Amino acid sequence: MDAKVLVNAAYFAVAVVFILGLKAMSSPLTARKGIVWAGYAMVAATLVTFLWPGHDGNGMHNIGLMVAAIAIGGAAAWWSGKKVAMTDMPQMVAIYNGMGGGAAAAIAALEFARGEAHEPLVTTLAVIGSLIGSVAFSGSCIAFAKLQGIMEKTYRLPAQNAVNVVLAVVAVALGAFIVAHPDHTGALLAFYGLALFLGVILTTPIGGADMPVVISLLNAFTGLAVGFEGFVLGNPALIVAGIVVGASGTLLTQLMAKAMNRPIANVIFTPITGAAAGGGEAVTGTMKETSALDAASMMRFGSKVIVIPGYGMAVAGAQHKVWEMAQLLEEAGVECVFAIHPVAGRMPGHMNVLLAEAGVPYDKILDLEEINADFPQADVALVIGANDVVNPVARTDKTSPIYGMPILDADRAQNCIVIKRGKGAGYSGIENALFYADNCRMLYGSAQQAIAEIIHHIKTMEEA
């Protein structure tokens, strides 16, 4: 059998497994299996690529360098994947995603350097892939820096949106020039430099409240860039993988934006930041503090408790303690379930992953649409480090930056207990009216410590 036919047949089989793996990832029960399938398919695609006859029919070149690159990159990824804490998973996803976009842009740069991308269609696709991939790479690096705490502030230029538009127009104009003059080294350098700067300037003003949507959007950009470069190289595996990632990332971005009731354009051009969050009506009242003993009593002698995890739980690594507390309550006859908002945490599914790691059964983890009607019947809504996703001004204050965003109705429970490290407004900078509600009590401190104290008091009540 001809080598090219064999490789293409293998790529087709890999594409089928990719799609089946993606389908399996749609359910928590089969997600791990889907990831394993997709991983094996990627390994197979990589190995089969070494049999590719190449454009000149003489097979692949620089195999030693390719093997070395795979070994170094694979070792680094394996080590970092083993060592990364669950709280750091969002920034790991961001930087890995950025590497994909950067690799796609680098492929096009190499094709330009070799003089391979000279046909108008191929050059056009290479330019588009380079632009999208460069933006995804530098934007993901900024997202990583924000999530890692390296860049703690948002920076917004005067006339930021006008600057964004001008830079984008100039980048497109340079790309059009390159299509006509692919050998122009100066234009290529200016194009790549401007594309990388555009990713920085687009992402820098975006605050933590919008970060889950940004990560998902940049993931879609990377997929599109990889797909375009697959066309440039004539590689079906890259085309399929890129299209699948681009399409799934785009759909996820739309779902995340819908969950925040914010058009994607608003996320990019009107981000919620600490400065932007100054809008909205002034919150009146006072925060009322409670103790771990009182919190334990309210939950232990109630009939239903709804736990709402947020990034504060992730930072404290308290998911195991939270599940231990839930098990104690259930042993005492108290129904205990978990309510998840689509944008809780720093990336899509962040809270689901943490709870699954702690061993919480999937049937106890409920989405916003499934759980909201139950809050009025709940004795206690326990909020652990969440902010915007339980802020009732999203329903009532038309001047608030988050007005219209679907929220978890924690304020409608009989009692609400909020575990929070301090009295600050949270990552987005928006004051939370829930904290001042008559039925809300604040339990200050690390989620790990607070839950441990609650567990101690529940056990003491059982022994009494």
pLDDT of residue 304: 96
pLDDT of residue 276: 45
Q: What is the residue-level pLDDT of the chain in tens, covering all 464 positions? A: 577 788 888 888 988 998 898 888 877 778 888 989 989 998 998 888 888 776 566 667 788 898 999 999 989 988 988 888 767 778 888 888 899 999 999 988 888 877 765 678 888 999 999 999 999 999 999 988 888 878 877 777 788 888 888 999 999 999 999 988 888 889 999 999 999 999 999 888 877 667 778 888 899 999 999 999 888 888 888 888 899 889 888 888 888 787 777 777 777 766 655 444 445 566 777 889 999 999 999 999 999 999 999 988 988 889 999 999 999 999 999 999 999 998 887 777 788 888 988 889 988 999 998 999 999 999 999 999 888 889 998 888 888 878 888 899 999 999 999 998 876 655 556 788 999 999 999 999 999 999 999 999 999 987 76
The reported pTM is 0.78
pLDDT of residue 277: 46
pLDDT in tens, 135-175: 999 999 998 888 887 887 777 778 888 888 899 999 999 99
pLDDT of residue 166: 92
pLDDT of residue 192: 95
Neighbours of 53 (CB within 10 A): 14
pLDDT of residue 275: 42
Report the amino acid identity of residue 311: Y
Q: Which residues are known catalytic residues?
A: 388
The CATH code of domain 292-463 reads 3.40.50.1220
- Measured in whole angstroms, the distance separating CA 130 from the mean position of its chain's CA atoms is 23
| DSSP β-bridge partners for residue 418 | 383, 442
Report the amino acid identity of residue 180: A
